[in-house]
Structure 1
Amino acid sequence: MFFQHVYDKSLAQASYVIGCQANGVAIVIDAQRDIDVYLEIAKQNNLKITHVMETHIHADFLCGSRELAAVTGAKLYLSDEGGEDWQYQFPHVGLKHGDKVTVGNLTLETLHTPGHTPESISFVLIDHPASDKPVMVFTGDFVFVGDVGRPDLLEKAAGMVGTVEKGAKQLYRSIQHFGELPEYIQVWPGHGAGSACGKSLGAVPNSTVGYEKIRNWAFQYGDDEAGFVEYLLDGQPEPPTYFAMMKHLNKVPRPLLIEVPKYPKLDKEDFLSAYRHGLKVIDTRNKVDFAKGFIPGSINIQGNNSFSTWVGWILTYQEQFLLVADDKDVEDLTRKLMRIGMDNVCGYVSDITSLGLELQTADVIDIEAFKGYVGADDTQIVDVRGESEYKAGHIPGADHIFVGTLQQHLDKIAKEKQVVIHCQSGDRATIAYSLLRRNGFNNVKNYSGGMKEWKEKDNQVVK
């Protein structure tokens, strides 16, 4: 058996290539949208991708299953569980609980594992030349290492009211059934640490059923369904706004993008024309360089592993936008954007000093300067971290406005006061700072050291 774990650090998303080398065929589970990685794996290992599968209708990334099937001629195998409202709306081979898919000498058996979503399925793998006993289970967003999938995304991100408690109870029952699997089976989940699909995902890529029964909190509640539901729903991170669009696009027919696009490097005239026509500018440079000089109105979203998530929070799918990025980073940024369907890139520039614009600078302050503002009547301190982080401990007197929803809550920022923003260690604060400056808040300072430095130096924290 051939096996390869493909991991996208930017979305903490896992996909899998499993092949039968004797027959030269392979299956891909939960493919990312830039499919060249799978084509190259298959080529290097003399495999033909004949089957493409998904564990559920994903909300956090745009799945590349259809692109992969279109290029390779593979068949799509997707869930037909969950009821009428949870059916994929394009041609596929439907899978129900107990259905088996044969790929050469391999068999994958379908388990209906609802809770995260009603149609969620897992795949139990049997490698027949080695044994007729199952060896792996691919759980998607059902069971993670140390955690389980959250059932509140449908309501919080996609607006499907009334689904949270029902999903939580379904997940509780699915967990009970999952615990009946042999303890030696390897667990390969759809996400790792850093994903917004859970609150405490482990950093290691895989586990076993037995390990999860011992260490995963979800298996410790026994007959206490109410306690399980309460803990499951408490403290979940805010789901990015783009999740609703992902859930839609992964379900319905859409144009396919079978190659990584190449966006143009714009000359001065073309960039300024687009900029003056109102296109947003996403500056992907690091926060230190941004602070030294930035295009007025530009938004600083650093091109690190969180780049696509924050773009998905800040931009809509209807608007074109421009990038500020180094030439060497453009392909990586393009891949990160296409994985969430953000395809409306007009182009990019790498040298903002050549544009002839009067650049602005950021007002970044250190901890000693920041202390002078704490408790001052004419100052508003704004903590832009997540709600659970704020509740766990914050600076005295700080208001909470999460950076992802800051644009919808500008009325809570006092223009007549000195505004000082911070997050945990500065990355989210630079996004918030640029958003405020873009929206006419000029009396803003950024305490970049954030809660990390504040606590390290033993300053007061309240709950």
Structure 2
Amino acid sequence: MKLEQIYTGCLAHAAYYLESKGEAAIFDPLREVGPYIERAKKDNAKVKYVFETHFHADFVSGHLDLRKKTGAQIVFGPTAKPGYDALIAEDGQVFEVGDYKVKVIHTPGHTMESTTYLVIDEHGKEHGIITGDTLFIGDVGRPDLAQHVVADLTEEKLAGHLFDSLRNKIMPLSDDLIVYPNHGAGSACGKMMSKETTDTLGNQKKTNYALRADMTKAEFIKELLTGLTAPPSYFPQNVLMNIKGYDSLDTVLDRGKIPLSPEAFEAAANETGALLLDTRNAADFAKGFIPNSVNIGLDGSFAQWVGEMIPDVKQQILLITYPDKQEEAMTRLSRVGYDHTIGYLEGGFENWKKSGSDYEIVGRLSATEFESIYKASKPLVFDVRKKSEYDSEHIIGAINVPLNEINEHLSQFPKEKFFVLHCAGGYRSMIAASILKQRGWEDVVDVEGGFEEMKNTSIEKSDYVCPTTML
């Protein structure tokens, strides 16, 4: 069977391409649809359907652009109410893609319209299930997102629906079916997803905590809701874009691909109040950056951290990138709904320096330099990793302020006292440093290489603590 997973690691996202006899279907596409169209061209196939498992929260789907460019029919599961033309399928409805069949299985719980698609080969054999956010490898979809859009859909109600969907619709299916989920490890749509991106349903019945045969509904709801962290603020905004519609990516790119000289860039920043977003790596940003710019590097989980740190998807943005990286940055911004780039610095930061314009730097310490300072003076240390990372192991005396919560805890950072920031590897701590610099903090440095490098110093034996071993 020609069913391919197209995985995008920086978003932990999986789309799927199905093709038979010159007809193709795409499941849960990303915003930039060119790769799917090119894939179909290689097979001399026409994209017949775009199947959506649900209204996604963590990215803006490319279904509307695919329909516009290919004429494909958009298909949602039962109860979906999009603000544009789409086919709302019935539970059990079957679609034909060449010699293959795609059967709709309504599986509410993650959201009310959530749907699993059962893929059947040319011989009538059930091959696999494309589960969206209903069933992951090692986990199931969090049931608390829809309540941020529809208030009376409480997480308890949705968790109950999910329990019923799993028991009545998914678990009775054959053990040899392959599970094709929408996400893998790193997505905020679940708690404990595996790094594996496919598995058999039979193995999931044995290993996935949410599929235990002896689990009661009450136990399921309690386990599913325990330990859920607040979803990123951009999630409800992405849901609404996927429901209501959005500008074509071509329009977004045309609007943002405006090269600006240093003088024009500065004028635009002063006139518009746009966010200055520097997408270079942390090391280069530290050596020099435009005042008031925020660093979120393209070489990390760029889109997810943009979504975490920039509250409004309608925020106007001015980009500072490496040469020829501006379109990539705009495309990756658009994946999570940030469609309002209004220009970029032509020639990048080096052109800014050549113009004689002012710039700032961020101090950085190597792990060994930090070790010397730490032993000599015990400076104030802020750990911006997740609470779970901090709880696993951290420096004695370090204060944990997770990066995604930094804007709510600015008062904890002293303006009159030197302090050190660190994360696991230096990516998140530079985001934090840039935000603090933007807000007026001066006497701050970060640790290059972060906690992973610091563990290789002598501090590891005497000054680290793993709470789980302290009995």
TM-score normalised by L of structure 2: 0.89
Deviation (angstroms), 1:377: 10
Is residue 272–residue 355 contact of structure 1 (8 Å, CA) maintained in 2? no
Q: Give the letter for the 1:460 counterpart.
A: Y
CA distance in 2, matches of 1:396, 1:281: 35
The match for 1:45 is 43
Q: Could you tell me how far apart the structure 2 residues matched to 1:191 and 1:223 are?
A: 24
Q: Following TM superposition, by how much is the alpha carbon of 1:257 offset from its aligned partner in structure 2, in angstroms? A: 3.1
C-alpha change, 1:209 and 1:259, in structure 2 (3 Å) is: farther
**Other-structure match for 2:90:** 96
Matched with 1:168 is 159
Quote the residue 1:184 is aligned against: 176
- Contact residue 423 and residue 448 of structure 1 kept, 8 A: no
Q: Which residue of 1 aligns with 2:11?
A: 11
| Separation of aligned partners in 2, 1:234 and 1:373 | 40
- Listed one character per residue, the Cα deviations across residues 242-265 of structure 1 (whole Å, up to 9, x for unaligned) are 111101111113333357725133
CA distance change for structure 1 residues 417 and 226 in 2, over 3 Å: closer, same or farther? farther
Q: Is the 8 A contact 2:314 2:339 kept in 1?
A: no
Deviation string 1:171-229 (CA, Å, 9 cap, x unpaired) is: 22222231211011111111122211122222233111112112222223622434433
Q: Tell me which amino acid in the other structure corresponds to 1:72.
A: T
Coordinate RMSD, CA, aligned: 2.5
**One-letter identity of the residue aligned with 1:174:** S
Instruction: State the SS of the aligned residue for 1:250.
Output: helix
The answer for the alignment partner of 1:363 in structure 2 is 363
Matches within 5 A, 1:407-418: 407-418=407-418
What is the aligned length? 454
Q: How does 1:154-165 map to 2 (within 5 A)?
A: 154-155=146-147, 160=151, 163-165=154-156
Secondary structure at the counterpart of residue 429 of structure 1? helix
Change (3 A) 1:223 1:5: closer
* Residue 300, structure 1, aligned to residue 295, structure 2: yes
Shift in Å, 1:75: 1.4
Q: Is the 8 A contact 2:146 2:153 kept in 1?
A: no
Q: CA deviation at 1:158?
A: 5.0
Instruction: State whether structure 2 residue 306 is matched by structure 1 residue 311.
Output: yes
Query: What letter is aligned with 1:443?
Result: D
Distance 2:372 2:11 in 1: 38
* 1:378/1:418 contact within 8 Å kept: no
> What letter matches 1:40 in structure 2?
E
Letter of the 2:267 counterpart: S
- Report the Cα distance in structure 2 between the residues aligned to 1:270 and 1:421, rounded to whole angstroms: 34
Amino acid at match of 2:31: R
Per-residue CA deviation, residues 141-178 of structure 1 (Å, 9 max, x unaligned), is 111122211112335x6584762222222222222231
Distance of 2:141 and 2:206 partners within structure 1: 18
The answer to whether the 8 Å contact 1:145/1:192 transfers is yes
User: What amino acid sits opposite 1:387 in the alignment?
Assistant: K
What's the offset of the Cα at 1:33?
Answer: 1.2
Conservation of the 8 A alpha-carbon contact between 1:10 and 1:336: no
1:111 to 102, 105, 109: 105
Which range moved further: 336-345 or 378-387? 378-387
Cα distance in 1 for residues equivalent to 2:390 and 2:426: 15
The yes-or-no answer on 1:284 pairing with 2:282 is: no
Secondary structure of the corresponding residue to residue 102 of structure 2: strand
**Gapped runs of 5+ residues in structure 2?**
none
CA distance, structure 1, for counterparts of residue 378 and residue 175 of structure 2: 60
| 2:27 paired residue among 21, 26, 29 | 29
Of 110, 125, 140, the match for 1:148: 140
Normalization by structure 1: what TM-score? 0.90
- The alpha-carbon deviation at position 362 of structure 1 amounts to 0.8
Deviation at 1:291, TM superposition (A): 1.1
Q: Residue 207 of structure 2 is aligned with which of 197, 215, 220?
A: 215
Where does residue 445 of structure 1 map in the other structure? 445
The secondary structure found in structure 2 opposite 1:10 is helix
Corresponding position of 1:75: 73
Aligned-partner Cα distance in 2 for 1:3–1:258: 28
Which residue of 2 is the match for residue 392 of structure 1? Answer: 392
Q: Which has the higher helix share?
A: 2
SS of equivalent residue, structure 2 residue 112: coil
For 1:244, the aligned partner's letter is P
Per the alignment, residue 320 of structure 2 pairs with: 324
Q: CA deviation at 1:371?
A: 5.2
Long gaps (5+) in structure 1: none
Deviations 1:255-280 (A, max 9, x none): 33357725133222211212333332
1:454 and 1:225 mapped to 2: Cα distance?
Answer: 45
Query: Quick one: distance in 2 between partners of 1:18 and 1:126?
Result: 11
What is the aligned-residue identity percentage?
35
Aligned counterparts of 1:373 and 1:228: Cα–Cα separation in 2: 49
- Aligned equivalents of 2:108 and 2:382: distance in 1? 39
Paired amino acid for 2:101 = T
Other-structure match for 1:249: 241
Q: Taking structure 1 as reference, are residues 74 and 204 closer, same or farther at Cα in structure 2, changes over 3 Å only?
A: same
Structure 2 distance, partners of 1:175, 1:447, is 45
1:372 is displaced (CA, Å) by 6.8
CA contact (8 A) 1:7 1:13 kept: yes
In 2, Cα distance between the equivalents of 1:305 and 1:139?
27
- 2: CA distance between counterparts of 1:454 and 1:112? 49
Q: Structure 2: how far apart are the matches of 1:276 and 1:338?
A: 24
2:431 maps to: 431
Residues 162 and 20 of structure 1: CA distance in aligned 2, closer, same or farther (over 3 Å): closer
**1:61-97: per-residue Cα shift (whole Å, max 9, x none)?**
101111111221121111223xxxx522322111232
Superposition pairs of residues 186-205 of structure 1, within 5 angstroms:
186-205=178-197
Specify the code of the residue in structure 2 equivalent to 1:10: C
When structure 1 is superposed on structure 2, of 236-245 and 107-116 the one drifting more is 236-245
CA gap 1:77/1:282 in 2 versus in 1, 3 angstroms: same
Which digits, 9 at most, give the CA deviation of each residue in 1:111-166, with x for residues without a partner? 11122112111000112x3x2231111001111122211112335x6584762222
